[in-house]
Amino acid sequence: MTQPHKNSFDPKPVLELIASIEADLQRLKTMVAQRIDEADPANPHNKTADGKLTKDGVERCYRMFDEGKSRYSVAQSMKISFTAASHRFETWRKAGGAKRKRALLG
């Protein structure tokens, strides 16, 4: 009598981890491979590994709104969605708009 083969290994978490590591490595490669202009809104330092804006990224976004840039322009410059730019525009307005206290950039 043979015993049924039990596959207790779930590959899904491992594959998700590999995808996450690959995304982080690609981001790191981009940062190292090219000379990064700190003032460039699309600078990879402005986003976390999962694509969200860092504190510096949020501040750069706000500074573009301070300059009168549109949500569409900010989205294009920072390589974020229009929805994300619209969300940041609303948080910028709630923070006082162009009269808000600027945060220091890192």
Q: For 12-39, what is the mean pLDDT?
A: 80
> Tell me, what's the pLDDT at 66?
94
> Tell me, what's the pLDDT at 32?
67
pLDDT band at 33; cut points 50, 70, 90: low
Structure tokens that stand for 104 in this block: 């220091």
Cβ atoms of 91 and 59 within 8 Å: the answer is no
What are the structural domain ranges in the chain?
Answer: 45-100
pLDDT tens digits, one per residue of 78-90: 999 999 999 999 9
CATH of domain 45-100: 1.10.10
Between 17-21, 32-36, 41-45, 69-73, the lowest mean confidence (pLDDT) is in: 32-36
Helix runs in 1-106, H state only: 11-33, 55-66, 71-78, 82-94
